[in-house]
Amino acid sequence: MGLIVQKFGGSSVADADRIRNVARIITETYRRGHKVVAVLSAQGDTTDDLIAKAAEINPNASKREMDMLLSTGEQISCSLCAMAIEAMGYPVISLTGWQAGFRTNSAYGDARIKRVDVERVLTELDKNTIVIVTGFQGINKYDDITTLGRGGSDTSAVALAAVLQADLCQIFTDVDGVYTADPRHVTGARMLEEITYDEMLELATLGAQVLHNRSVEMAKRYGVNLEVLSSFSGKPGTKVKEVAKTMEKLHVSGVACDKNVARLAVVGLPDEPGIAFKIFSLMAKENVNVDIILQSIGRHNTKDISFTVGKQDMERAKQALEARKEALGFDHVDVNDAIAKVSIVGAGMIHNPGVAAKMFEALYNAAINIHMIATSEIKISVLVDLSEADRAAQVIHDRFFHEVGVQ
Amino acid sequence: MGLIVQKFGGSSVADADRIRNVARIITETYRRGHKVVAVLSAQGDTTDDLIAKAAEINPNASKREMDMLLSTGEQISCSLCAMAIEAMGYPVISLTGWQAGFRTNSAYGDARIKRVDVERVLTELDKNTIVIVTGFQGINKYDDITTLGRGGSDTSAVALAAVLQADLCQIFTDVDGVYTADPRHVTGARMLEEITYDEMLELATLGAQVLHNRSVEMAKRYGVNLEVLSSFSGKPGTKVKEVAKTMEKLHVSGVACDKNVARLAVVGLPDEPGIAFKIFSLMAKENVNVDIILQSIGRHNTKDISFTVGKQDMERAKQALEARKEALGFDHVDVNDAIAKVSIVGAGMIHNPGVAAKMFEALYNAAINIHMIATSEIKISVLVDLSEADRAAQVIHDRFFHEVGVQ
């Protein structure tokens, strides 16, 4: 008996049958005695259809009007889901973002939630009504409709769960939970029962696209118990919480593979203080997100600085650097986007120095060359050739999960 | 230089080209120096598509959720229209019903406007921004979305024009204006330059489906100058105002034909006081709208009461009567839905007793039998066989508009 927030993504509400399935999950939770708030995304193709309609009329439409347009998607899926629950005989009401009290800043298309005024939601819950809320949207101080950008519905659900102090926030997706590696590419990948927020954050950043970082960060900040699970299988999923029960005996919780990586090497920089600052403040100005950074000694009293960026930023980063070649005083910029980043993540890792050695050994045995290495408290990442990425993830996974039993 | 409210119906915004056409009409008005508020319906098929989606999930969905669903239609057309105007380089903003301040009662699906809080609209107009408002919708005291029912967008436009004290409210449709008869059925039908509110009301009630009665009643009450015109032709339409210039010399302003009519005859009622009251309070309780009523002396100290209702109410009215056959003491109920009502409307009519005679003569000459006759200050209606309806409208129109010059 508690309060549960459930979030369903676009593929979970794609058509009438799937909406009925979602209605079943919600009402089963309700019948077990819980209060339920469900946060829904727009139906599968709706958002794309609306974007196409807009593009036909104005490819450069203002973000304000795009949000006005796109926010209808969730309003449609939510009212339809409420109708499905009505048909099953349960009390239910659907609420838009503004009706549910989502107040955001004014960054149309990528707004941040400032607060959630949950009076209306609480009133409905007090009446024992199931509440269906549009994800991904809110209103700003002008009462104009905003959307939250990528992963927005997850963030809506976690924010509601935080403000309502929900006992659990379940994120229903089309996968069963969080895996030790991408099961589409790595055989033997297993689902995790539990994982910490930090591990989840590292996995999300590293390309495991189950939960958006913003929602995990918010869940960590407000201590929201998350569960990632499938809306199709009906099986328990992966719990994301502050300290996972099994953390002590678990060194590595997962292997992630990110293929959207490009590496830039700025070669022959003068060996003087402030050069790294100059390069990365330039990248920040160009709005390029930099990931792994590596600095090495070059020939003739110079140094080289290499770093990775998303593939989409590679050309922009290169041009910005070359436009300042004289001021920075380097020799040339070398780029490579035929690479991938393979990482292992685990909360206990830092206390087990053998983990890194084991990872490198697995790659060495498979004759996979490592271009760069980066480590943090809970992860070790290596850059390898793109063509070797899946094999690298596989041999690392085999090494950690087939020899050491997980859970 | 003034404030103009323009309303565009579903067929006027059916696709991208038509939305661009509407954007052109709006911006041309704006370029002539006017402030413009445009009220839009949902795109042609949108509402039907949404209704079909709902029916697939729950054929008996609550009206509250239906309104939540259907109100997205206007939000889509309005944001798209705003984008089209942006593309033409004009300042514009789209507003939902609640953003534009439409407050209604809680009769979901058929709500009435209680007030329009126009602060936001005025703020935007002060900034010289073109304002696009979703027709057909508002919110009630719970902040839940409501829709206004049939003809709702016309009513939205007239209500806005009334509160904003607009100089003109233009209702753009797919016809050029108000005609002396339905041009699809009556040859020689001509467009009127002007018409009074009352005449327009009678014509609307009688089946000329250009403007919904609610909007005309509201325009009359608040003295809103209306113009009905085509969004395709670009020609001036019909002005609807308190006193039409040409009223004095005009006896008949139009011929209307309503085929959605059924006649009930309650035969053999006891000839005692209160019997009409009993029958029509029963009809009111059953929510049946009664139109023409005729009472005649029957045989053996009895009387017959005949009246017309909309076809959709015929069965319900009959069953309600028969369920009280004993209490009312009648012999039987006779029904007929193979009939139609043909009417002439004109403000000067009451002062010209020859008008009725001329109408009956035209029908007599054409050998068309009259079942019932009803008259009011500004109209004369006759019931004829459904199969004779179009011919009746034609011969009446010929008699009044080909012999007597109009305007």
- Inspect the interface and report whether the beta carbons of A83 and B99 lie closer than 8 Å: no
Q: Where are the alpha helices (DSSP H) in A58-208?
A: 63-70, 72-87, 119-126, 152-163, 197-205
| Chain A interface disruption, residue of B65, B92, B102, most A CBs within 10 A | B65
Q: B13 in helix, strand or coil? A: helix
- Inspect the interface and report whether the beta carbons of B68 and A56 lie closer than 8 Å: no
User: According to the model, what pLDDT value does residue B111 have?
Assistant: 93
Grade residue B302 by pLDDT with cuts at 50, 70 and 90.
confident
Query: Is residue A66 included in any domain, yes or no?
Result: yes
Those residues with Cβ within 8 angstroms of residue B357's Cβ, 6 or more apart along the chain or in another chain: none
- Give the mean model confidence (pLDDT) for residues A93-118: 96
> B81 to chain A: nearest residue by CA?
A57
- Inspect the interface and report whether the beta carbons of A68 and B145 lie closer than 8 Å: no
Q: Are A41 and A74 in contact (CB under 8 A)?
A: yes
Angstrom distance (rounded) from CA A222 to CA A159: 9
H or E, element range at B215: helix B213-222
Q: Are B240 and B249 in contact (CB under 8 A)?
A: no
Q: Are B111 and B138 in contact (CB under 8 A)?
A: yes
How many CB atoms sit inside 10 A of residue A289's CB?
Answer: 11
- Give the mean model confidence (pLDDT) for residues A363-368: 90
Structure tokens at A360: 């490198």
- Give the mean model confidence (pLDDT) for residues A325-351: 87
**Most confidently modeled of B29-43, B203-217, B220-234?**
B29-43
Angstrom distance (rounded) from CA A373 to CA A383: 7
Structure tokens at A210: 């189950």
The chain A residues in contact with chain B (CB within 8 A) are 16, 19-20, 50, 53-54, 56-58, 60-62, 64-66, 68-69, 71-72, 75-76, 78-80, 82-84, 86-87, 93-94, 96, 99, 120, 143-145
- Give the mean model confidence (pLDDT) for residues B197-224: 80
Query: Is residue B154 included in any domain, yes or no?
Result: yes
Structure tokens at A159: 């924010």
Looking at A127-131, B17-21, B53-57, B363-367, which range is the least confident one? B363-367
Grade residue A247 by pLDDT with cuts at 50, 70 and 90.
very low
Closest Cβ opposite residue A65 in set B56, B61, B79:
B79
Structure tokens at B34: 């006017």
User: According to the model, what pLDDT value does residue A90 have?
Assistant: 98
Number of domains into which chain A is organized = 1
- Least Cα distance to B261 among B372, B397, B157 occurs for B372
Grade residue B179 by pLDDT with cuts at 50, 70 and 90.
confident
Specify the DSSP class assigned to residue A402.
I
Distance from CA of B2 to the nearest CA of A (A): 26
Per-residue pLDDT tens for B139-161?
Answer: 999 999 999 977 799 999 999 99
- What does residue B69 show for φ and ψ, rounded to 5 degrees? -70, -55
> B73 to chain A: nearest residue by CA?
A72
Structure tokens at B10: 């579903």
User: According to the model, what pLDDT value does residue B20 have?
Assistant: 97
Q: Above pLDDT 90, what percent of chain A?
A: 57
Distance from CA of A212 to the nearest CA of B (A): 27
Degrees, nearest 5: CA angle B337-B342-B346: 150
Q: Are B270 and B302 in contact (CB under 8 A)?
A: yes
- Cβ contacts below 8 Å, chain A against chain B, sum to 106
Angstrom distance (rounded) from CA B351 to CA B251: 9
Closest Cβ opposite residue B80 in set A16, A54, A62:
A54
Those residues with Cβ within 8 angstroms of residue A245's Cβ, 6 or more apart along the chain or in another chain: A194
- Inspect the interface and report whether the beta carbons of A83 and B20 lie closer than 8 Å: no
Distance from CA of B171 to the nearest CA of A (A): 24
Asked if residue A12 has pLDDT above 50, the reply is yes
- Inspect the interface and report whether the beta carbons of A94 and B66 lie closer than 8 Å: no
Distance from CA of A109 to the nearest CA of B (A): 14
User: According to the model, what pLDDT value does residue B184 have?
Assistant: 81
User: According to the model, what pLDDT value does residue A352 have?
Assistant: 67
Query: Is residue A157 included in any domain, yes or no?
Result: yes
Q: Are A139 and A147 in contact (CB under 8 A)?
A: no
Q: Are B160 and B39 in contact (CB under 8 A)?
A: yes
- Give the mean model confidence (pLDDT) for residues A217-235: 90
| Chain A interface disruption, residue of B27, B79, B90, most A CBs within 10 A | B79
Cα–Cα separations (whole angstroms), residue A330 to A191, A335, B10, B305, B308 = 47, 14, 63, 102, 93
Grade residue B75 by pLDDT with cuts at 50, 70 and 90.
very high
Degrees, nearest 5: CA angle B380-B382-B384: 160
- Give the mean model confidence (pLDDT) for residues A10-31: 96
Q: How far is CA B156 from the centre of its chain?
A: 13
Closest Cβ opposite residue B65 in set A60, A64, A83:
A83
- Inspect the interface and report whether the beta carbons of A65 and B56 lie closer than 8 Å: no
More confident position, A297 or A64: A64
Query: Is residue B75 included in any domain, yes or no?
Result: yes
Long-range contacts formed by A240-244: CB under 8 A, 24+ apart? A240/A178, A240/A194, A240/A195, A240/A196, A240/A197, A240/A200, A240/A211, A240/A216, A241/A194, A241/A196, A241/A197, A242/A196, A242/A197, A243/A196, A244/A194, A244/A195, A244/A196, A244/A199, A244/A347
CATH number of the domain bearing residue B40: 3.40.1160.10
Grade residue A239 by pLDDT with cuts at 50, 70 and 90.
very high
Closest Cβ opposite residue B57 in set A57, A66, A83:
A83
Angstrom distance (rounded) from CA B287 to CA B270: 25
**Which residues of chain A have a CB within 8 Å of the CB of B76?**
50, 53, 69, 72
pTM of the model: 0.79
- Least Cα distance to A189 among A246, A249, A258, A255 occurs for A255
| Chain B interface disruption, residue of A15, A64, A65, most B CBs within 10 A | A65
- Inspect the interface and report whether the beta carbons of B120 and A99 lie closer than 8 Å: no
Those residues with Cβ within 8 angstroms of residue A195's Cβ, 6 or more apart along the chain or in another chain: A178, A203, A238, A239, A240, A244, A253, A254
User: Side chain identity at A101, as an amino acid letter?
Assistant: G
Query: Is residue B93 included in any domain, yes or no?
Result: yes
Structure tokens at B40: 């839009």
Per-residue pLDDT tens for A33-55?
Answer: 999 999 999 998 898 999 999 99
Show the domain range for B55: 3-174
More confident position, A190 or B89: B89
Distance from CA of A83 to the nearest CA of B (A): 5
Closest Cβ opposite residue B57 in set A60, A84, A120:
A84
Q: Can you name the residues that pair with A169 across neighbouring β-strands? A: A5, A226
Those residues with Cβ within 8 angstroms of residue B230's Cβ, 6 or more apart along the chain or in another chain: B172, B173, B174, B175, B176, B177, B237
Q: Above pLDDT 70, what percent of chain A?
A: 93
Asked if residue B246 has pLDDT above 60, the reply is no
Q: B407 in helix, strand or coil? A: coil
Query: Is residue A233 included in any domain, yes or no?
Result: no
Asked if residue A245 has pLDDT above 70, the reply is no
User: Side chain identity at B352, as an amino acid letter?
Assistant: N
Angstrom distance (rounded) from CA A352 to CA A92: 51
- Inspect the interface and report whether the beta carbons of B57 and A75 lie closer than 8 Å: no
> B23 to chain A: nearest residue by CA?
A57
- Least Cα distance to B373 among B362, B364, B360 occurs for B360
Query: Is residue B128 included in any domain, yes or no?
Result: yes
> A81 to chain B: nearest residue by CA?
B57
How many CB atoms sit inside 10 A of residue B28's CB?
Answer: 12
Angstrom distance (rounded) from CA A61 to CA B76: 14
**Which residues of chain B have a CB within 8 Å of the CB of A19?**
57
> A65 to chain B: nearest residue by CA?
B79
- Give the mean model confidence (pLDDT) for residues A99-116: 95
Q: Can you name the residues that pair with B130 across neighbouring β-strands? A: B92
More confident position, A374 or A111: A111
- Inspect the interface and report whether the beta carbons of B84 and A54 lie closer than 8 Å: no
Distance from CA of A61 to the nearest CA of B (A): 5
Q: Are A352 and A398 in contact (CB under 8 A)?
A: no
User: According to the model, what pLDDT value does residue A373 have?
Assistant: 82
- Give the mean model confidence (pLDDT) for residues B41-61: 94
Mean pLDDT of the residues in chain B: 89
Angstrom distance (rounded) from CA B80 to CA A272: 55
Grade residue B405 by pLDDT with cuts at 50, 70 and 90.
very low
Closest Cβ opposite residue A80 in set B53, B93, B143:
B53
Q: Are B116 and B159 in contact (CB under 8 A)?
A: yes
Grade residue B207 by pLDDT with cuts at 50, 70 and 90.
low
User: According to the model, what pLDDT value does residue B206 have?
Assistant: 61
User: According to the model, what pLDDT value does residue A176 have?
Assistant: 86
User: According to the model, what pLDDT value does residue B304 have?
Assistant: 85
Structure tokens at B295: 């009472």
- Least Cα distance to B53 among A17, A267, A392, A195 occurs for A17
Residue B329, burial from CB neighbour count under 10 angstroms (0-12, 13-18, 19+): middle
Q: Are B303 and B297 in contact (CB under 8 A)?
A: yes
**Which residues of chain A have a CB within 8 Å of the CB of B141?**
none
The chain B residues in contact with chain A (CB within 8 A) are 16, 19-20, 50, 53-54, 56-58, 60-62, 64-66, 68-69, 71-72, 75-76, 78-80, 82-84, 86-87, 93-94, 96, 99, 120, 143-145
Torsion angle, alpha carbons of A184, A185, A190, A191, to 10: -50
User: According to the model, what pLDDT value does residue B407 have?
Assistant: 34
Cα–Cα separations (whole angstroms), residue A385 to A22, A314, A340, A358, A367 = 42, 17, 6, 20, 12
Angstrom distance (rounded) from CA B223 to CA B217: 10
Specify the DSSP class assigned to residue B179.
B
- Inspect the interface and report whether the beta carbons of B62 and A86 lie closer than 8 Å: yes
How many CB atoms sit inside 10 A of residue B364's CB?
Answer: 12
- Give the mean model confidence (pLDDT) for residues A134-151: 93
Looking at A78-92, A251-265, A352-366, B155-169, which range is the least confident one? A352-366
Closest Cβ opposite residue A79 in set B60, B69, B120:
B69
Query: Is residue A153 included in any domain, yes or no?
Result: yes
